[in-house]
Structure 1
Amino acid sequence: MSAESAFLTAIANLLAGAGLSPAPASIGAAEPVQNADLPAIVLSLDAVHRLSAGLGERSALIRDGALPWQATIDLANPVLPEEPGFLLLSEDRLSLILPHGGLRQADGGEGPLGADDLSVSVAGAAQTVVNTAPGAGEVRADPSIGQLEFGSALPATGNVVVNYVLGQWERRVTPIEGTLSMVVRAAAADSVANLSDAALDVLIGSSNAPLRGLRKIALAELGSISPRDTTLANSRGRLARFSFDFEHEINEPESSGGVIRRIPLTTRLNVVSANVATGVLTTGVVTESE
C-alpha cells in the first residue's frame, strides 16, 4: 500500500472508531449514490507530495523486536515466488522451511516456541505445537533456521498457513505532506452540520486522538453547507480541508537475518616466508575451519 493510500485508510479508520453522531453509513473514497450510503464522509487528497530524496524514504534494521508475520505456502508448489527453483518442502514431505529464520517467542524472547508463539494449519487443520518429536497432527519448530518438522507427511495439495514472530526486520518510513479533503454528506442540513462538527472534533479538536505517523494536521478551510445534489443521492454536503504531515511506516522482514543453514567452511592459505640472513624461502599451508 502506498503512503498516500495508507494515510487515507488511517484517517478513515480513526473516524470509524470515534463513535460519531449521526453514525456515518460510509467513510472513505466512495461518493454516495443512494440513500443507504448516507450519511457519508468522503476523503480524498487535493494535493500531496513526498519529501525530496535527501529527506524522504529511509530505512532502519530493527533488532531484538517482535514482529508478527504470516506465511502461506502452497503444498502443490512449495517455493518462494522470488526463488522458484528452491523447494521449501523436503522430499519426504515432513520438513518445511519458512521464508524467514530467526523466529522469536511472542514477547520477543528467544527459546522454544509454544502455542502462544506459533500457529500452524495444514489444509485448514490446526496442528499442535510441540517441542518433542512430533506425532500425527503435531509440529515442532527450529526457531533459528525457521524450519518446521511435522509428525506425518504433508498432503500433495492445500496450503500451510503459519503465524510466527520475527526478532529482526527492516522498517521503511516514507514521509508525505499535502492537503486532505473531507466532504460530509447527509440528507438534511442539521445532520451535515452535526456530523462535520463531530469529525472536526476528532481530527483537530478536544477529542483529537493520536494517530501513528501523523506529525501534524491543521484546518485550512471549512465551507458552507451546499444545496442538494441529485447526482449524489440528493444529499447536501460540507467541505473541509486540512494541511498535514504524515509518515508511512512499513515493517517487512526483507532483512530478517535468521540463519537459513550453517555450512562448515575450511580455508587453506599458502604461506611463503623468507629468511633474510640466508635467503632461503620456506612454504607452508595454514588451515582454518569454522
Structure 2
Amino acid sequence: MQGDPKIDERLGLNVPRETWPTPPLLKAYEAAGFAWVQVHTPPIAMLADRERARQHARALRAALDTTGLRLLIHGPDDLSAGTELHDRAFGGLLDYAAEARAELIVYHGLNFRSAEDAPSARALADRVELEEASLRRRATVAQRLGVRLCVENLAPVYPGPPRVCHDPAAVSALVRRIAMPSVAMLFDVGHGHIAAALRRDDLPSLLAPVLGDVGLFHLHDNLGARRHDVQAPGVDPLRLDLHLPLGAGTLPWIRVAATLRDHDAPLMLEIGAGVRQEPLVLGRSARAAFGEARASVPA
C-alpha cells in the first residue's frame, strides 16, 4: 500500500484492551498498511507472577511471528513504580517485553493527584521521588534489553480533579531528570487536546516545549473539555477521553499534523473499541488526515 513514507513506516494501530491479537487480526492490520501494533499486557497481579507473564508474552510473539509488525506493549493503566508489588510487576513487564520482543513499553507515570496544600505537596514530592528512583533502576534493565520506556501524558477520563500526569511539561521534566536513552515521553495528542482545553491553552503550545523528549505519539480525537455541554451522536455525554477516530472530534489536527509528520517517533492510532472502524478504513483515514494537512500548508 503506497503512501507517504514518512507516515507509513511509523503508523500503528492498537488492539483493543479486551481483544486477543489473533494471527488473522494482525494480518489484517498489516494488510491495511500498518507497521506497528500496540497490545495491552495482563494486569499487575499477572505481571508480578513472572512465569505467567512470560507464558502470555510467548503466545503473543507466536501470533506476531505470522506478520512483520513491530510491537509496542501497553503496561497496566494502574501500574505505578515505587512500591514493592508494583516494582515486582514492573520486573514482569520487562520480562514480558523481552519474551515478546517489544521495542517500546507504554507507562502511566506521575499518575498522582495534584497537591492542594503544603502537606499534600510534601507527600506528593516523596511519592514522585520513589517513582523516579524506581524508574531509574528499570531504565537500566530496559537499556540492557534494548527496549524503551515511554511515559505518557494522561487526561481525565471524566471531569475530575487534576493529576500531575495531565501536564505534559511535568511528564517531560521526569524524562529529562532520568536522562537515559531508554526512557522517553509518549505524547498523547488526544490527551493533550483535553489538557489544553481544560487550561484554556493551546495544543501546539503544549507540544512544542516537549517535542525533543518524545519517543512515541498516540493519535485519537475527542471533544476537548466539552464546555457548554458539547455533544456528539453515539458517544457518552460526559466522557472526555473518547478515543475517537481522527476527524471525529474537535482536535485542531491541521495545527499539529506537520509537526508530527516531521518527527521520527512512531504514530500509534489508539481508537476505542466501541467507535472503531475496520483497520483498512482507519489506515486510509489517518493517511488522508496527514495528506489534507500537508495540502493546506501554503507553498
For normalisation by structure 1, the TM-score amounts to 0.21
Structure with the higher helix share, 1 or 2: 2
TM-score (norm 2): 0.20
Structure with greater strand share of residues: 1
Q: Which has the higher contact order (CA 8 A, sep 6+)?
A: 1
